[in-house]
């Protein structure tokens, strides 16, 4: 038989999904795959129940149901402070996952380059490769996960088509400051580069940090392709609803990429999710309070045990520094943590391009009792002999 696609076979299995499988084999608490363990708001579910009888059950407009785009435009205008035309500036996708893939395919030709910060959310490398482009990695240097401006400019000098900006960031928990974003904006302008953002954690930010939408920076709306999703904000990761927001010229192309990739996101789910998009400010405050509460429980517990990590500014991940255990293989450490402690992390090295293996990533989008049980188990961590 002829060889399968080089592009496709160069992509490895998602480490997060692999850890999830191992976690279930050993019955460990799964803190690897980051989905919220909370209930979907009941107003959204009640609407879904009604829609199950009334419809719609056929294709919606391929780039998004009219009502969904109108509600999304209103909501994002409120938070991003930008004029968003539901006809011209939005494509509704199957999750943030498709949004990033479609954005990348909209911008890149084979041979193009894309800047990715490392550590990174693992999809970015796959998306870059699948769109025929080549990643250029720029380090977010531990322990504070800050980029070196000269190194970033060196990457821009290689004439990249785009830079990917995950903010608030998975896995680091960073929320980039206005100064950091301005550095990126100046370089993007100087080297005429698109900025593809991933803002799926836009509403999960901890005081005193504030999320600044890259597209809202002066002059940046024309070169920013914002991707995000409803997965985390409304605890509906299974609904696969995401979107791209951008300038009309970009969105016109993204609409056809999306059409050929998936035709459209599920029509009944778009219709039901409109209820969530119409929620008032109180809902977003409650989400923020909920996650702040989870973060505080988890961080206080880790502090009591004396484990080392950097406090997250946003999103719901912690990069735990495991240097004190003297291990050199974070994958082996993760496997042992599952088997001996009953907690499943993601080995940190899977997020880094550099050879860094003194981190594991844990997520805390879990019920309080689950977090307390995890902390209970982690209390024994120093009694275990890790190989």
Ligand X SMILES: Cc1ncc(COP(=O)(O)O)c(C=O)c1O
> Contact residues for ligand X (CB under 6 A)?
34, 95-97, 121, 166, 170, 198, 200, 229, 231, 237, 242
In the bound state with ligand X, the residue whose beta carbon lies nearer, of 96 and 345, is 96
Q: What whole-number distance in Å separates Cα of residue 82 and Cα of residue 198?
A: 17
Cis peptide before 147 (omega within 30 of 0): no
DSSP codes joined into one string, 278-298: T--HHHHHHHHHHHHHHHHHH
Please identify the residue of the shown chain whose CB is closest to the bound ligand X: 95
User: Strand, coil or helix: what is 342?
Assistant: coil
Minimum Å distance from CB 279 to ligand X? 18
In the bound state with ligand X, the residue whose beta carbon lies nearer, of 266 and 381, is 266
In the bound state with ligand X, the residue whose beta carbon lies nearer, of 60 and 233, is 233
In the bound state with ligand X, the residue whose beta carbon lies nearer, of 142 and 314, is 314
Minimum Å distance from CB 239 to ligand X? 9
CA 362 to mean position of chain CA atoms: 14
Minimum Å distance from CB 123 to ligand X? 6
Minimum Å distance from CB 175 to ligand X? 13
In the bound state with ligand X, the residue whose beta carbon lies nearer, of 156 and 239, is 239
Minimum Å distance from CB 111 to ligand X? 26
Minimum Å distance from CB 92 to ligand X? 12
Q: Pull the structure tokens for residue 335.
A: 């496997």
Cis peptide before 7 (omega within 30 of 0): no
In the bound state with ligand X, the residue whose beta carbon lies nearer, of 37 and 339, is 37
> Is the distance from CB of 181 to CB of 217 less than 8 angstroms?
yes
For residues 8-31, one letter each, b for 16 or more C-beta atoms within 10 angstroms of the residue's C-beta and e for the rest, the string is eeeeeeebbebbbebbeeeebbbb
Angle at 147 between CA 146 and CA 152, to 5 degrees: 170
């Amino acid at each position: 038989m002829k060889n399968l696609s080089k592009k496709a076979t160069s992509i490895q299995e998602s480490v997060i999904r692999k850890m999830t499988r191992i976690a279930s084999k050993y019955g460990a608490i799964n803190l690897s795959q980051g989905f919220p363990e909370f209930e979907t708001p009941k107003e959204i579910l009640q609407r879904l129940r009604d829609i199950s009888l009334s419809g719609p059950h056929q294709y919606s407009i391929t780039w998004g149901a009219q009502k969904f785009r109108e509600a999304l435009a209103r909501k994002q205008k409120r938070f991003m402070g930008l004029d968003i035309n539901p006809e011209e500036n939005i494509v509704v996708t199957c999750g943030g996952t498709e949004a990033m893939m479609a954005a990348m395919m909209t911008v890149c030709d084979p041979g193009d380059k894309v800047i990715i910060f490392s550590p990174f959310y693992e999809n970015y490398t796959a998306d870059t490769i699948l769109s025929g482009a080549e990643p250029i990695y720029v380090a977010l240097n531990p322990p504070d996960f800050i980029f070196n401006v000269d190194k970033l400019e060196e990457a821009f000098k290689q004439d990249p088509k785009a830079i990917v900006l995950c903010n608030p960031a998975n896995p680091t928990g960073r929320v980039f400051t206005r100064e950091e974003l301005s550095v990126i904006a100046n370089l993007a302008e100087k080297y005429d580069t698109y900025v593809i953002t991933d803002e799926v954690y836009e509403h999960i930010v901890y005081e005193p940090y504030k999320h600044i939408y890259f597209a809202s920076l002066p002059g940046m709306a024309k070169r920013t392709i914002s991707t995000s999703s409803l997965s985390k904000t409304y605890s509906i990761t299974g609904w696969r609803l995401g979107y791209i927001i951008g300038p009309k010229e970009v969105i016109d192309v993204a609409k056809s990429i999306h059409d050929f990739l998936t035709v459209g996101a599920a029509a009944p789910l778009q219709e039901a999710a409109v209820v969530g998009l119409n929620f008032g400010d109180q809902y977003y405050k409650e989400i923020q309070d909920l996650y702040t509460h989870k973060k505080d429980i988890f961080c206080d517990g880790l502090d009591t045990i004396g484990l080392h990590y950097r406090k997250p500014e946003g999103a719901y991940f912690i990069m735990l520094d495991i240097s004190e255990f003297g291990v050199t293989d974070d994958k082996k450490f993760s496997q042992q943590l599952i088997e001996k402690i009953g907690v499943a992390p993601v080995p940190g090295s899977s997020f880094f391009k550099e050879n860094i293996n003194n981190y594991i990533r844990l997520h805390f989008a879990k019920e309080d009792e689950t977090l307390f049980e995890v902390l209970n188990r982690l209390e024994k961590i120093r009694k275990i002999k890790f190989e």
